[in-house]
Each structure stands twice: as C-alpha cells, then as structure tokens.
Structure 1
Amino acid sequence: MKKLVLLTPLLIAIAACTPTQQGAAVGGLGGAAIGAAVAGNEVEGAIIGGAAGAIAGALIGRAAEGSNQCVYRDQYGRRYTAACPRGY
C-alpha cells in the first residue's frame, strides 16, 4: 500500500507530459529496475540501465509524437494535437 501511495504522484505527473517525456520517464524507471536486478552491482546497474532506458524511451516517445505536430491547450485546459504553424 505504501508503494502505491508513493507512486501515485509520479504517475499523475507522467500523465501530463508529452509522449517524449513519458517515454523517457517510463524507460528510465524500467531500465533502472532491470539494470539493478541483473547487474552484479545494483547501484551501477540501476544507473546504467536508467540512462539507457531513458534515452531509448525518449526516442520511442519522440517517434510516437509525429512530425510537424504541436500540442495545444484549449480554453478549458484540454490538450490536443494539430499541425504546427508555418516556419515553426
């Protein structure tokens, strides 16, 4: 139960990010967990796995965003994606 209480604010923060940021966060957390589990030195494995996971997650998230697309907010705070203005 304590883990859920600690992870809830993190999950809410990730939900409000762009796909690139979400990918980096999820990839970093997953990479750190896997790196710590499989490496001989848990701390070193978590650092290396977290860095590799964050980079890979950011690249995957960036690819999911689409090219020449911008994220906007309407007057009610809802987010939507549309083509970026010319020259942007």
Structure 2
Amino acid sequence: MKKILMTCATAVIIVGLSGASCQRQDMGMVAGGVVGGAAGHAITGGSAAGTIVGAVGGAYVGRELAR
C-alpha cells in the first residue's frame, strides 16, 4: 500500500511540474497536497484515509497560500 501511495504522489508531482502553463496557485496546490498527504500518512500511521484527507487538506491550504 505504501508503494502505491508513493507512486501516486510521484505521479501527481510529475504531472503538476511538467505543465508549461502552470500557475502559481496550481503549484501551491500540488506542493500542499504532497506535503499534506505525507503528513497525514505519518500522523495516522499509514492509514489510506489519513493520507487522502491530508492530501486534500494540504492542497486546499497550499492553493490558498499561493494566492
């Protein structure tokens, strides 16, 4: 399960960084999602639900901070 989550996080980073028309808010959302997902994973001891909630929350916070 951990390898699947890391693969998904890596794919999100690559897709987020590869777009030539990325805006600052999009980069903030991607970075926040990755950090939030990693934090949620660590806090909940590897729970998939914790990782997802952390990623969604982190993406929202990252997007708002990038404005």
- TM-score, structure 2 normalization: 0.68
Post-superposition, which runs of at least 4 consecutive aligned residues in structure 1 deviate over 4 A?
Answer: none
Whichever structure has more strand as a proportion of its residues is 1
Superposed, which structure 2 residues align to 1:29-68 within 5 Å?
A: 29-40=34-45, 42-62=47-67
Deviation at 1:13, TM superposition (A): 1.7
Higher-Rg structure is 1
More helix by share: 2
Give me the identity figure in percent. 30
Where structure 1 has 5 or more consecutive residues not aligned to the other structure, the ranges are 63-88
Q: How many residues align?
A: 57
Given that residues 34 and 58 in structure 2 are in contact (C-alpha distance below 8 angstroms), is that contact kept between their aligned partners in structure 1?
Answer: yes
Structure with more relative contact order (C-alpha pairs < 8 Å, separation 6 or more): 2
> With structure 1 as the length reference, what TM-score do the two structures score?
0.54
Runs of 5+ consecutive residues of structure 2 not aligned to the other structure = 1-5
Q: Is contact 2:32–2:58 with CA below 8 Å preserved after alignment?
A: yes
Amino acid paired to 2:52: I
